[in-house]
Every structure is written in structure tokens, then in C-alpha cells.
């Protein structure tokens, strides 16, 4: 397995890169906005092309894949626990060797080992490692939400502005509509007018009306362009917000999966170790408190007998420990849910991970 610390470093640098890209993207959106505000809507060349957005997405996907890998890596770390559990059940090489000469001595050596066994250190390591990952994820989530808020408020202002622009556009169009019949009427009147002086007057009036009309049409064009710019801006902004939201959702899935997993593992491993220790010791101590030293031989024999009996029981317990552990179904359901969400998002990585595992086992 890849070293955890170096994987973390890789993930951290990738997150920095992702955050830089996100900041750049939001920066572009914001500068476009400033340009619009400065009244140069045509100058606001909104260079938020789909290519840039795709770039950000590609990177964040790679980054999340990396983190998902890291989370799967924790599974490998926890495989170490099952080795510990096995060690609690089985005799070490030396103990088996001693057992060849004296069964009682070998049992008592194993008992002593079990009595001082503890997995608290390992549990803490597990918690702290998953904590490190969660911290990374949460900082990333914070950044995403931050940017989302910024772009959101920006969009809100732009939307209001666009409404005003559209309103003005409507007004201009209404005025143009009003002018149309007037112009037609004037033209008719000019065609029917016989008096030259009156005719000249009407023609001047028509020229004025036409000029006003042309001005209005020009204004309409300007407003239309402005509204289209704003619309484009809003469209880009919206897809950026969507993208940020989607990325944030992914972070949430990762965090949720990790938190549920860690909570569940701590409870499970701790309960299992303690049950194993208890099963192994309890009967023995009780039987021999009063047997006393005279029957030491018998005591050792009894211990050996109980030892092998409990060993059998422990083996059974190991096999069905999941339903043995009075685990509320809810834990498993929640784990299943978070696993399912995780799997849906990271199907490829899970597949690769599993393939690697089987590949390694096959060698």
C-alpha cells in the first residue's frame, strides 16, 4: 500500500491546485461583472468558455478520485485489525513450540499475552488518520461553499439588473409600437394633401417622427445587446454555481462515508477485542481462585481445557461477530447507505481498488 503520509501530501497539493482553479474561475466571473457595471457590456468578453469549466471539473474529479483512493486505503489499514484479532485466538510460534513440551505452560503464556493486549493505540491511529482526511475535505467544502455564496450573491444582483434592462426594452418596444400607426397616418395624410405649405409641414413632422423612431430602434438594439450579455453572464454563472454545488455534494458524500465508517469501526473493533479478552479469561480465574496451590497441576490442566473450549467459542464468535455484537440494524443500514452513495460516485475507483486487491492476492 502507498504510504499514507505521502498520499496525504499529494491530495493536499491537488486540493491547493483545485482551489486555485476555482478561485480563478470565480475571479473571471467577478471581473466580467465589474466590466458590466462599468457600463461596457460589449467589452465584457465573458471568457468563461466551456473548456475552462471542463478543465476545473477534470481536475476536481482527479482530486476526488485521489481522496476516494485514500479512504479506500483506510480499509487496508483496518485489515491490520483482523490480524490482531487472529493473534488473540491463535498461539504464537513460540507458544506452540512450548506447547509441545508442556500444554499448561503454553496456555498460560498465551493467557498472559491476551491479558496485556490492547488495540486502543490502533483505534486512535484510525481516528486520527480519518480525521486528517476529514479536515482536508472540510476545508475544501468550506472553499466551495464560500465561492458558491459569492457567485450566488453576484448572480442575484445581475438578475435584478437584467430585469430592469428587460423592462426598459419593453418600454422602448411599446414606444416603437405607438409610433408605427402615427407614421402610417402621417404618410397617408402627406399622400392626400394638396396644399404645398401644409404638405411641407407634414413632411417635416414625419422626418422628426422618423428620427425619433430610428433613435428608439437603436436604443432597442443597445438594450437587447445588454440583456443578452447579462443573460450569457447569468447562464455561465449558473452553470458555475451548479458545478460548485455538485462538487460540494461530492465532498459531503466523502465526509459522510468516512465519518460513518470510522464511528462504526471504533465500536466494532473495540467490542470485538473486549469480548475476545473476556471470553478467554473469565471462567479460568473463577475456577482457580479456590483450588489453591496444592492442586496446581489440576489447575493447569483445567486451564488448558477451558482454554481450548473458549478457543472454540471464540472462533465461532469471530465468524458471526457482526450479528453477535448486538449491532443495531441502523448502523448497518446507515453504513450501507453511505457505502452506496460512495459507490455510485466512485464506481471506477472501487472497481480498480478491488481489482488491485485481488491481483495482489493472486500473486
Partner 1 sequence: MRDDHQTLKDGDVVRRYFAKFRRIIAHLGAVTKAAPDWPGPMGEAGKQQIELIAVYLRRLAWTFDALSYKYLMAGHLSQHLPDQLDIDKVESGFPVYRELMQMAVDRAQIDRHLDRLPSAEQLRRQIVDHILRERTPPRRLQYAMSQRVYYERLAKGDLFLAQNDPEIIWLGNVKGNYRRRYLVHWGVYDSARNLPMLYLMILEDTGKTALGHDERRWPAVQNHLVAQSISELKLLTIARGFDADFPDIHPKLFRRIQIGPMRSNAFTRQSGLLAEVLAEADAPPGLDWALSWTVESLISKRTETRSTGLFSSVDTEVYDIDHLDPEAVDAGVTALERGLILPHRAYQVLMHREPAGIPGLQTYVVGDDGVVMAA
Which residues in this chain contact partner 1 in the complex, by CB under 8 A?
108, 111-112, 115-118, 120, 123-124, 127-128, 131, 138, 141, 252, 255-256, 259-260, 263-264, 266-267, 270-271, 274-275, 277-278, 281-282, 284-286, 288-290, 292-293, 296, 327-331, 334
What's the min distance (Å) between Cβ of 238 and partner 1?
Answer: 23
For partner 1, the closer CB: 176 or 288: 288
For partner 1, the closer CB: 290 or 319: 290
Give me 146's grid cell: 464560500
What's the min distance (Å) between Cβ of 89 and partner 1?
Answer: 17
Q: Is 276 exposed, middle or buried (0-12, 13-18, 19+ CB in 10 A)?
A: buried
Q: Are the beta carbons of 137 and 254 closer than 8 angstroms?
A: yes
Chain position carrying cell 489440576:
298
C-alpha closest to that of 162 among 27, 28, 38, 36: 36
**What is the Cα–Cα distance from 302 to 12, expressed in whole angstroms?**
57
What's the min distance (Å) between Cβ of 341 and partner 1?
Answer: 12
For partner 1, the closer CB: 229 or 280: 280
For partner 1, the closer CB: 60 or 108: 108
CA 350 from centroid of its chain's CA atoms: 15
For partner 1, the closer CB: 213 or 327: 327
Q: Length of the chain, please?
A: 363
Tell me the H-state helices in the chain: 4-37, 50-89, 93-101, 103-115, 120-192, 196-289, 296-319, 321-324, 329-345, 347-362
What's the min distance (Å) between Cβ of 210 and partner 1?
Answer: 54
Chain position carrying cell 496485556:
116
Q: Is 50 exposed, middle or buried (0-12, 13-18, 19+ CB in 10 A)?
A: exposed
For partner 1, the closer CB: 281 or 311: 281
Phi-psi region of 327 (alpha: psi -120 to 50; beta: other; left: phi over 0): beta
What's the min distance (Å) between Cβ of 115 and partner 1?
Answer: 5
**What is the Cα–Cα distance from 121 to 91, expressed in whole angstroms?**
22
For partner 1, the closer CB: 223 or 304: 304
Amino acid at each position: 500500500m502507498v504510504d499514507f503520509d505521502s498520499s496525504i501530501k499529494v491530495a493536499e497539493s491537488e486540493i491547493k491546485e483545485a482551489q486555485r482553479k476555482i478561485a480563478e474561475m470565480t475571479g473571471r466571473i467577478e471581473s466580467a461583472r465589474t466590466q458590466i457595471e462599468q457600463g461596457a457590456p460589449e467589452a465584457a468578453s465573458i471568457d468563461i468558455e466551456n473548456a475552462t469549466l471542463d478543465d476545473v471539473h477534470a481536475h476536481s474529479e482527479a482530486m476526488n478520485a485521489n481522496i476516494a483512493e485514500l479512504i479506500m486505503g483506510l480499509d487496508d489499514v483496518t485489515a491490520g485489525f483482523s490480524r490482531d484479532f487472529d493473534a488473540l485466538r491463535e498461539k504464537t510460534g513460540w507458544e506452540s513450540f512450548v506447547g509441545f513440551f508442556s500444554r499448561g505452560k503454553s496456555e498460560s503464556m498465551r493467557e498472559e499475552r491476551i491479558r496485556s493486549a490492547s488495540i486502543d493505540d490502533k483505534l486512535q491511529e484510525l481516528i486520527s488518520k480519518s480525521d486528517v482526511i476529514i479536515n482536508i475535505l472540510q476545508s475544501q467544502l468550506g472553499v466551495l461553499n464560500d465561492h458558491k455564496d459569492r457567485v450566488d450573491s453576484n448572480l442575484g444582483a445581475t438578475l435584478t439588473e437584467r430585469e430592469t434592462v428587460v423592462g426598459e426594452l419593453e418600454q422602448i418596444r411599446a414606444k416603437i409600437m405607438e409610433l408605427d400607426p402615427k407614421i402610417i397616418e402621417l404618410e397617408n395624410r402627406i399622400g392626400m394633401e394638396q396644399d404645398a405649405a401644409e404638405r411641407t409641414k407634414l413632411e417635416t413632422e414625419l422626418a422628426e417622427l422618423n428620427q425619433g423612431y430610428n433613435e428608439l430602434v437603436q436604443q432597442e438594439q443597445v438594450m437587447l445587446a445588454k440583456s443578452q450579455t447579462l443573460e450569457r453572464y447569468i447562464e455561465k454563472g449558473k452553470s458555475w454555481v451548479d458545478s460548485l454545488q455538485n462538487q460540494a455534494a461530492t465532498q459531503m458524500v466523502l465526509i459522510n462515508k468516512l465519518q460513518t465508517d470510522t464511528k462504526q469501526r471504533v465500536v466494532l473493533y473495540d467490542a470485538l477485542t473486549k469480548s475476545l479478552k473476556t471470553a478467554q479469561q473469565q471462567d479460568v480465574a473463577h475456577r482457580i481462585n479456590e483450588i489453591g496451590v496444592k492442586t496446581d497441576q489440576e489447575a493447569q490442566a483445567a486451564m488448558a481445557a477451558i482454554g481450548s473450549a473458549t478457543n472454540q467459542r471464540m472462533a465461532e464468535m469471530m465468524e458471526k461477530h457482526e450479528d453477535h455484537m448486538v449491532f443495531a440494524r441502523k448502523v448497518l443500514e446507515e453504513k450501507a447507505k453511505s457505502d452506496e452513495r460512495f459507490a455510485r460516485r466512485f464506481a471506477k475507483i472501487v472497481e480498480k481498488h478491488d481489482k488491485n486487491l485481488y491481483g495482489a492476492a493472486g500473486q
